Amino acid sequence: MNDVLSKYELAGKILADVRAEAMDKVKVGASLLGVAEFVENIISEKGAQPAFPCNISRNDEAAHATPSANDISVFGEDMVKLDIGVHVDGYIADTAVTVDLSDNADLVEASRAALRSAIEITHAGISTTEIGAVIESTIESFGYRPVANLTGHALARWDQHASPSIPNKSVLHGAILKEGDIIAIEPFATNGAGHVSESGSVEIYRLETPKPVRLPAARKLLREIEAYRTLPFAKRWLPQPRLDFILNQLERMGIVYAYPVLKEDAGGLISQAEHTVIVEKDGCRIITE
């Protein structure tokens, strides 16, 4: 178990360094693809692996946005969320930060303060309903709404979204956290409706149920995908002719799972803050700072 904990801690330490370096790169006019590739490359240089593609979600986008292989977009005066994951031997640390180029500091502070108050009350034996309630009331005290249908989550080996989920608002039924649980707490605050929906574009997938495929090109792609095990991967990580066609087929067969970009229903701006913590007897310890 100590060996496992030290792998989580190493993943978290590498991730904290990567986050700091990445934040410096987010500037008006900088390329999104440049930032994503920078993040994913330095994770490898530091001896770990990305646990999922570097998510760069802007403004009303909440999550699951990452640049495509030939993306030419650059940052404007955006509210930018960087959501980054690192794994060491399958043990994952997950963090997110908002870099605000849009001059909405109080919306950024709402999700940061909610994360702080959630971390303050987290300990073995607490119910996730209490964590959700404090996140909701903190965000509302700033005059904003939490995004009700996005949650934090537990982390398990090779599983970036394990149970239980950590709600961002008060819910009827929660789970009791145990000593040693590794959880990612990630409040999202918005000046919009407080709800997100899937939009059309997909750049991120993960392997769901491997099945035999006949088409040689699909077999070849599936072998590459299997290298990521059950962790999400980016389309741009898989240079291959007719990639979209083959991925669509694999998705229809239930072999891969697609993550469409999630956008705020009323077009509101969204801020996000996230840390990974280890639940302890009398509190919790942040591993991503």
Contact range with Co ion by CB under 5 A, out of 167-175, 181-189, 213-221, 248-256: 181-189
| Helix, strand or coil, per DSSP, at residue 27 | coil
User: Would you say 94 or 264 has its CB closer to Co ion?
Assistant: 94
E strand residue ranges, 136-279: 145-146, 152-156, 159-166, 182-185, 188-190, 196-207, 233-234, 256-264, 270-272, 275-279
Is 161 catalytic? The answer is yes
Instruction: Write the interaction track for Co ion spanning residues 186-225; mark x where CB under 5 A is met and - where it is not.
Output: x---------------------------------------
100 sits near Co ion (criterion: CB under 5 A): no
Catalytic residue, from 94, 100, 136, 203: name it.
Answer: 94
Min CB(216)–Co ion separation in Å: 36
Distance CA 67, CA 87 (A): 21
Q: Do the Cβ atoms of 264 and 199 come closer than 8 Å?
A: no
Work out whether 279 is an interface residue with Co ion (CB under 5 A). Answer: no
CA distance 46 to 98: 23
94: contact with Co ion by CB under 5 A: yes
Considering the candidates 83, 136, 203, 264, report the single residue annotated as catalytic. Answer: 83
275 belongs to the catalytic site: no
Which of 100, 153, 264, 275 is labelled catalytic? Answer: 153
Q: Which of 82, 184, 189, 262 binds Co ion (CB under 5 A)?
A: 184
Residue 76: strand, helix, or coil: coil
The answer to whether 272 contacts Co ion (rule: CB under 5 A) is no
What's the burial of 12, exposed, middle or buried (CB within 10 Å: 0-12/13-18/19+)? buried
Interface of this chain with Co ion, residues 23 to 62, rule: CB under 5 A? none
- DSSP class of residue 236 equals G
Q: How far is the CB of 113 from Co ion (least distance, A)?
A: 18
In the complex with Co ion, which residue's Cβ is closer, 9 or 106? Answer: 9
CB of 63 to Co ion, least distance (A): 8
Cα separation, 155 vs 88, in Å, equals 13
Calpha distance 78→65 (Å, rounded): 14
Stretch that binds Co ion, among 139-147, 180-188, 208-216, 231-239 (CB under 5 A): 180-188
Q: Which stretch binds Co ion (CB under 5 A): 9-17, 28-36, 176-184, 226-234?
A: 176-184
DSSP state of 31: B
CB contact at 8 A, 273 and 110: no
Give the shortest CB-199-to-Co ion separation in angstroms.
19
Of 161, 181, 203, 275, catalytic: 161
Structural contact between residues 75 and 23, judged by C-beta atoms closer than 8 angstroms: no
Known active-site residue 274: yes
Active site residues: 83, 94, 153, 161, 186, 274
Which residues would be at the binding site for Co ion (CB under 5 A)? 94, 184, 186
